[in-house]
A and B are shown apart, each in its own frame.
Chain A
Amino acid sequence: MDTTQVLKGLLDTAVLAIVAREDTYGYDIIRRLRAAGFDEVGEASVYGTLRRLYRGGYLTSQIVPSEEGPPRKYYGINAAGRDLLERSTKTWTHLAAVMNDLLDLTEEAA
C-alpha cells in the first residue's frame, strides 16, 4: 500500500493537530510528524500544506527570534482552523471506524 498517497490526504489534519497543541515552525512540524510515525513525509509537502492552510485562513503566523539560529516563522491555529480540525477529526474517526469494521470482518471471514 502506498502510504505516501494516504498521507497526502491526512496531512492537513495532521498539521492542524500539531499546530493546535502549540504554535510552532515548519521544520519542527516535520520532526514531530516523523516522530509520530510519518517517516516518509516530505519537507516540501509540509511547507506547501502550511502555505495552503495559511492562505485559506486557517493559520496565523509570526516571526519569532531564535537563540539557536535565524528567526523562525511560527504558525498558530485560529478559530477557522480549529473548526476545520474538528470536522476533519470527525471525518477521520468515522472513516477509521468503518475501515476497522471492514478489516475485522475480513479477518473473521478468513
Chain B
Amino acid sequence: MTTTATPTTLTPAAENYLQRVRKALADLPEDEQEEILGDVAVQLADLAPSTDTDLEAALGSPEDFAGELREAAGMGTRPAPDGLWAALGRRLDEFRNRPAVRWWMAQWVRLRPYWLATRGWLLVASISVIYNRDPFVRFPLPEVLDEAWVGGAVVAASTWLSFRLARSPRRGRFVDVAFTAATLFYVSITLSGAFPLTQSLDEPHGGASYRGLLGTDGPITNLYPYDLDGNPTQVLLYDQEGRPVLTRPELRSGGYEPLVSDGKLIIPEDGGAIAIPLDDNGRPIPNLYPQEERPSPYRGAQPTIPTTTTWQP
C-alpha cells in the first residue's frame, strides 16, 4: 500500500524546482506523477532547508532530472508535442536553461519572499492611496477605514494571502497571477496619479499637490470682494484656524519683507494695500479661533461644516 507524501514546508526555490519537474512529467498518469513527486519533494525538503541552496547545481535542471528519472524508471522519453504552444514551450525551456537566465532565476528565487511580502503591503497601500486623501500619515501602515490599526490588520492578512497563493498548486496559479495583476494595476494607477476616486477640494486635477484655494476651473490666486452695490471693497479673510488668507505666494514662502505700520501688517495687493492687525508679539491676531474640526475623508468632496463659531473682535 502507498500514499503520497508531500511535504508542506518546501522553500520557494524547492517549490519552483518541483513544479518544473512536475511539468516535465505532465504526460504521465496523475497518480504516477504524485508518487514520484512525493519522493522528490522529501529530498528537496531535506536538501534545501534554506533559500541559499542552489538546487540546479546540486541536482541538474529539473528537465534533466525528470529525463533521467524517466529513463531509470523505464518510462521512456517524453513524447514531443506538436503545435505552436509546444514549440513555444520548447523555446522557453531552452531560454530558461541558458546560464545567464539560470543565474537571474536563482537571484529571483532568493528575492521572491521579499517580493511576496512587499506585494501584500503594496496592494493594500495602493488601494489606500486611491481611496484616501493622505493615507501615509502613519507610514508604513496605510489607513483603511480611516484607521491605521485596521490598515495593519489588512496588510497582515494580505501578506499572508500573498504567501499562501504563491504556494498554491497548479490549478490555483491563476489566482496567484490575478493577485499580482491586481497589485500592479493599483500601483500603476497610484503612480500615474490618475485616481479620480481621490478627487477632493484640494486635489481636483489628478493628484497634484496644490494646497491653495481651488475653484471649479482651477487654483484661485486672488479674491476681489465687492459690496452689495457692486463697488470694490476691502475685507480681511481668515481660514478655519484664524490665520489670514494670503493670496500672494511669496508671503506664504517667506520671500516677503513684512511692512509693519501702526501695529498692523501692511500687505500690498492689487489696487492698494490691506492691513492685518498684529498682537504684541507681532503675530497676526486671529479673529476666528480653532474649532472642533478634522479633515474630511473627502469621499464625495464634502468638507466638514464647523459646528461652532466664535468671533473675536
Contacts and interface: CB of A to CB of B under 8 A. Distances in A.
Contacts of A55: 73
Contacts, number: 93
A51 B2 CA distance: 12
Interface stretch (A38-46, A80-88, A92-100, A101-109): A38-46
B85 to A, nearest CB: 26
10 contacts: A27-B47, A47-B39, A47-B40, A47-B69, A48-B68, A49-B73, A52-B72, A52-B74, A62-B1, A71-B7
Contact of A43 (B1, B41, B43, B45): B43
Contacts of A45: 68-69, 71-72
A49 B72 contact: yes
B194 interface: no
B77 interface: no
Contacts of A47: 36, 39-40, 43, 69, 72-73
Interface of A: 8, 11, 25-27, 30, 42-52, 54-55, 60-63, 69-73
B71 to A, nearest CB: 7
Interface of B: 1-3, 5-9, 32, 35-36, 38-43, 45-47, 59-60, 64-75
Contacts of B46: 27, 69
Given A47-B39, A51-B36, A63-B2, A11 B72 contact: yes
A73 B72 contact: no
Contacts of A51: 32, 35-36, 39, 69, 72-73
Nearest to B73: A48
A61 B2 contact: yes
Contact of B68 (A25, A44, A70): A44
Given A51-B35, A51-B36, A72 B69 contact: no
A8 B68 CA distance: 11
Contacts of A25: 39, 42
Most B CB within 10 A of own CB, among A44, A48, A63, A71: A44
A78 B64 CA distance: 31
A50 to B, nearest CB: 7
B68 A42 contact: yes
Given A43-B59, A70-B41, A48 B5 contact: no
